Amino acid sequence: MSETGLVYDEEMTRYKLLWTDPVCKIEVPERLTVSHEALKCRGLDRRCVCVPTRQATDQEILLVHSKEYLEAVSQTPHMSLEDLLTFTQQYGDVYFHPVSHDVAWHQQLPPGHHSQRCEASGFCVFNNVAIAALYAKQHYKLNRVLIVDWDIHHGQGVQYCFEEDSSVLYFSWHRYEHQQFWPNLAESDYDSVGKGKGTGFNINLPWNKVGMTSSDYLSAFFHVLLPIAYEFDPELVFVCAGFDSAIGDPEGGYNLTSLPQSVCQTVHTLLGDPTPELRDIGPPCHSALESVHNVRAVHQRNWGCLKHIEPSIKRSRVDEKVEQHEEETTEHLVWPEPIPRDAPPLRTAARVSKEQEELLSEACLCLGEKSPKDLEEAEKIRNKHFQDVTDEKSLKCIQDVVSLWEKIKNKEVRNGLVVVSDVFVSLKCAVELAKNSLSERTLVLFVGDDIVPVDTNDGKVLLVQICRKEPSEVKSVYHVPVCLNKDVFSCASVMAAVLGLLLPLAYEFNPSLVLQVMAEGSSGLKVCVWAQLTSLLQGVAQGTALALLKGCDSDMVQATAASLSGASAPTLGPLGPPLTEDLEAIEAQRHRLQKRWGLLVNSVSDKEKESQDQ
Ligand SMILES: [Zn+2]
């Protein structure tokens, strides 16, 4: 059964502008019809569960809005055109239609993020996302809800609704240009952090320049949103998925080509299809870095994951006069159709012991007998790279890895796991296989203290090692040891390393294969953390991953299979601050590597220091 629901109602398309208004003319019913057509065209609608609509009750709307406002909007179906126009003009950039009362009731004109308690604003009649968050809290007894707002505009309505509320964390990035961009509010800047007990739960990341790239957005994800989101540990996440920030839509309107593409890409991702490759990822631009730096600094005291940073604000660019520029028209812009998100027919395969097969049968395909061709292939590999290997156990490792690799290489499966008895032979074998075929770059995540027998000097292998003791030598900027304390690593520390080092490195390196190696049992890593990071790494290499596990108990094997097969990883619970010594180790690596790996840069001071050193 599909895990993704889809809400669509023809009724929505009846909402349209009945008079001339240059600002509102872009809010057209075609936005909905072209998006729905595109979903049908790609067969995506059939893969979702159709969720029927219903009218919201007055009680639900009153969770956010005032009685007076609700009553006023309720009158609109009975108004003459003239009265409707007069009614509309008291609000900013919005219009009412005789059916807008009904339509807005369907909670389907998402996300409504500009609408406020007593007024409509910015095409938003009711604040749907705020109503939904409060409804979920009330009816499902939720304690923590996260709202991520990637619309190009700041959702001031959501901010006003929750700024004193610590149970709803609101994160918005938005075009700001030092308050030159609508809604032109001082409170849309990074220093609005929430009020009273809601302090720290309102996170604004203003973009002060146009033309932000994937690197800028990834920087915001890894250095602001994800660390705070993991620490907060929401039970439910809403996304205000305004696509006016997409390519082809820099005027903050609605582009009828990029909109359906964006909608389809989002549904693909919700359905677990392989994520597209991101190329040319590097450091954020100076303006983006400054915003990331400032929002981290201003929230330093609110979040444990930021406690180690210097809370100094960089205002260097704020005083500069913003260049006034003519808005470009977008009609001339062309961009390629997104690459199809095709997936191998099967997601996950495993080669494990007979007893473990029973545990995994639901999550993945357990490979049975090895084919003569696989054995032949394994013999070739042995002759070429492992001439000194003659014992049965090691030979079996090579055969197991080869047989699973063949399935990945031939695109029969997306990823897989092998339980191995010799982790070094298996790892070396996998690296050689990858080098010899489709994989130009391999990311190796190694959990364990051993000296890892892979060569990182040719730039084709990036090795990130989570360990307890410092390795005797660090080979290159492609070798990243992360030394953590304690017998069982702190979840917060591991996540700080994953979000601050591993993921930025992984996205910038852009591997075609991820090898995840657990060298000896859990090696200090909790099962839930391993499951989380396995899920997160599915975002690179189009999900092409091979996990090699040695000495792990069945929980670990099961969790690996589940995460590889797309199941959501178990929660880590709200995280405390990472251990100070661990943060020091992570920061030391970040400083060592940020010249080569630009996505690791998250502070203007680091960058300034770096240029002084040169
Ligand atoms: Zn918008």
Q: Is the pLDDT assigned to residue 106 strictly greater than 50?
A: no
Taking the centre of ligand 1 as the mean of its atom positions, its distance from the CA of residue 460, in whole angstroms, is: 41
Q: How much is the ipTM here?
A: 0.99
Count Cα atoms within 13 angstroms, Cβ side, for 295.
32
Mean pLDDT of 402-431: 96
Position 105 scores a pLDDT of 35
Q: Going by C-beta distance under 8 Å and a sequence separation of 6 or more, which residues neighbour residue 179?
A: 185, 186, 188, 189
Both 558 and 443 in one domain: the answer is yes
Position 60 scores a pLDDT of 95
Mean pLDDT of 590-596: 96
Among residues 295, 325, 26, 294, the alpha carbon closest in space to that of 177 is found at 325
Q: Is 459 left (phi over 0), alpha (psi -120 to 50) or beta?
A: left
Residue 75 is assigned to a structural domain of this protein: no
Residue 331 is assigned to a structural domain of this protein: no
Task: Report the CATH number that the domain containing residue 596 is assigned in CATH.
Answer: 3.40.800.20
Both 165 and 292 in one domain: the answer is yes
What is the residue range of 537's domain?
A: 415-428+438-613
pLDDT, tens only, 489-537: 999 999 999 999 999 999 999 999 999 999 988 778 999 999 999 999 9
Q: Is the pLDDT assigned to residue 475 strictly greater than 70?
A: yes
Position 317 scores a pLDDT of 52
Residue 118 is assigned to a structural domain of this protein: no
Among residues 217, 172, 146, 223, the alpha carbon closest in space to that of 503 is found at 223
Residue 508 is assigned to a structural domain of this protein: yes
**Residue, of 367 and 612, whose pLDDT is higher:** 367
Q: Are 552 and 527 within 8 A, CB to CB?
A: no
pLDDT, tens only, 18-58: 666 666 666 667 778 888 999 999 999 999 999 898 888 99
Position 96 scores a pLDDT of 64
Among 76-90, 198-212, 428-442, name the one with the lowest average pLDDT. Answer: 76-90
Position 107 scores a pLDDT of 35
pLDDT, tens only, 246-261: 776 655 446 788 888 9
Taking the centre of ligand 1 as the mean of its atom positions, its distance from the CA of residue 122, in whole angstroms, is: 8
Q: Tell me the catalytic residues.
A: 114
Both 442 and 304 in one domain: the answer is no
Residue 594 is assigned to a structural domain of this protein: yes
Mean pLDDT of 397-417: 96
Residue 156 is assigned to a structural domain of this protein: yes
Both 302 and 449 in one domain: the answer is no
Q: What percent of the chain shows pLDDT beyond 70?
A: 89
Position 494 scores a pLDDT of 97
Both 307 and 443 in one domain: the answer is no
Both 489 and 604 in one domain: the answer is yes
Both 307 and 420 in one domain: the answer is no
Taking the centre of ligand 1 as the mean of its atom positions, its distance from the CA of residue 151, in whole angstroms, is: 5
Both 301 and 447 in one domain: the answer is no
Taking the centre of ligand 1 as the mean of its atom positions, its distance from the CA of residue 489, in whole angstroms, is: 42
Taking the centre of ligand 1 as the mean of its atom positions, its distance from the CA of residue 445, in whole angstroms, is: 39
Taking the centre of ligand 1 as the mean of its atom positions, its distance from the CA of residue 387, in whole angstroms, is: 62
Position 94 scores a pLDDT of 65
Cα separation, 517 vs 512, whole angstroms:
16
Both 305 and 421 in one domain: the answer is no
Residue 162 is assigned to a structural domain of this protein: yes
Domain boundary residue, one of 296, 311, 326: 311
Cα of first residue to Cα of last residue in the chain, in angstroms, is: 57
Both 423 and 288 in one domain: the answer is no
pLDDT, tens only, 107-130: 345 678 998 998 888 778 899 999
Taking the centre of ligand 1 as the mean of its atom positions, its distance from the CA of residue 129, in whole angstroms, is: 14
**β-strand partners of 239:** 148
CB atoms within 10 A of CB 553: 11
Domains of the chain: total: 2
**β-strand partners of 419:** 549
What's phi and psi for 37, nearest 5 deg? -60, -45
Mean pLDDT of 390-395: 91
Residue 106 is assigned to a structural domain of this protein: no
